[in-house]
């Protein structure tokens, strides 16, 4: 008998973490789950549809309600450890993130955090979201793939990086392909950092900190125009945007594969490329 807690614990194990991150959570608990509707963004309409179609639970990747939505900004602190891993001094990493964390906290404060969770409770349908664990799975998978394919090529170019990313099925199947946002195809990639698991993009100060620590190319899911413009002006490193939905789908699919091994029927929708 599979519960929502079992599903969350499976995701944590696959991500190699012990505690539920603050951007993830079980909104309505459920037991005896056999049939799941899973999507990148699952809101009130998807809850209604799942109820009508007889699903036992709904899983959203992104947080849309409750404490995971309110506390989303706190998970950006994971980026400090990631920056330190790539050689950024811990004090510099913390300062680089402060502006972005403050901006997200202010943005979340006035939100109607109860809207979606109240409907889930009224419908009495198990509902949860799994954000950072899936993103960590994606980040680890893509970084390992890049390292395995390019670590011996000290003169790998951005085109080489794109070609290696395109070996991953989710990028092959997606209508949105990995693209170079800063740099040119024949530019050397240098040291590559895959940054896909820290809540959201850390901002221009974070990118600059990585480049000043010796990273040559950042691979991320998405990059705002102001960050792209700042990186171009800095003229230090390169940025490849792998794509949001296909990148999210990598970690989600690894989780779904394990859920199916447990006998759970999973229907994918709302952005998942399978």
Query: Residue ranges for the binding site for a divalent metal cation?
Result: 61-62
Helical axes 244-261 vs 132-150, angle rounded to 10°:
100
Alpha-carbon distances of 145 from 164, 195, 209, rounded to whole Å: 8, 14, 24
Distance CA(137)–CA(254), nearest Å, equals 8
Distance CA(5)–CA(14), nearest Å, equals 14
The candidate with the shortest Cα–Cα distance to 222, out of 207, 237, 205, is 207
Please name the residues in contact with 155: beta carbons below 8 A apart, sequence gap of 6 or more.
Answer: 188
Convert 158-175 to b/e letters by CB count within 10 Å (16 or more is b).
bebbbebbeebebbeebe
The first and second tokens of residue 229, run together, are 């413009």
Which residues define the annotated binding site? 61-62
Please name the residues in contact with 169: beta carbons below 8 A apart, sequence gap of 6 or more.
Answer: none
């Amino acid at each position: 008998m599979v519960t929502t807690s079992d599903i969350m614990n499976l995701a944590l194990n696959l991500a190699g973490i012990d505690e539920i991150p603050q951007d993830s959570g079980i909104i309505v608990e459920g037991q005896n789950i056999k049939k799941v509707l899973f999507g990148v963004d699952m809101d009130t309409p998807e809850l209604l549809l799942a109820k009508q179609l007889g699903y036992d639970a709904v899983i959203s990747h992104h947080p849309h309600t409750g404490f995971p939505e309110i506390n989303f900004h706190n998970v950006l602190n994971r980026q400090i450890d990631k920056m330190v891993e790539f050689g950024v001094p811990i004090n510099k990493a913390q300062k680089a993130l402060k502006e972005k964390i403050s901006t997200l906290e202010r943005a979340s404060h006035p939100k109607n955090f109860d809207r979606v969770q109240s409907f889930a409770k009224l419908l009495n349908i198990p509902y949860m979201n799994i954000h950072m664990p899936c993103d960590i799975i994606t980040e680890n998978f893509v970084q390992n793939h890049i390292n395995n394919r390019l670590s011996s090529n000290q003169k790998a170019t951005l085109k080489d990086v794109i070609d290696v990313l395109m070996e991953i099925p989710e990028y092959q199947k997606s209508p949105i392909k990995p693209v170079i946002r800063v740099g040119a195809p024949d530019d050397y990639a240098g040291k590559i950092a895959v940054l896909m698991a820290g809540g959201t993009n850390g901002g221009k100060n974070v990118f600059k900190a990585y480049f000043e620590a010796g990273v040559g190319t950042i691979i991320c899911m998405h990059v705002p125009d102001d960050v792209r413009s700042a990186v171009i002006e800095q003229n230090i490193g390169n940025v490849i945007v792998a794509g949001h939905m296909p990148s999210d789908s990598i970690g989600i699919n690894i989780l779904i594969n394990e859920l199916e091994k447990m006998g759970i029927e999973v229907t994918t929708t709302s952005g998942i490329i399978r």
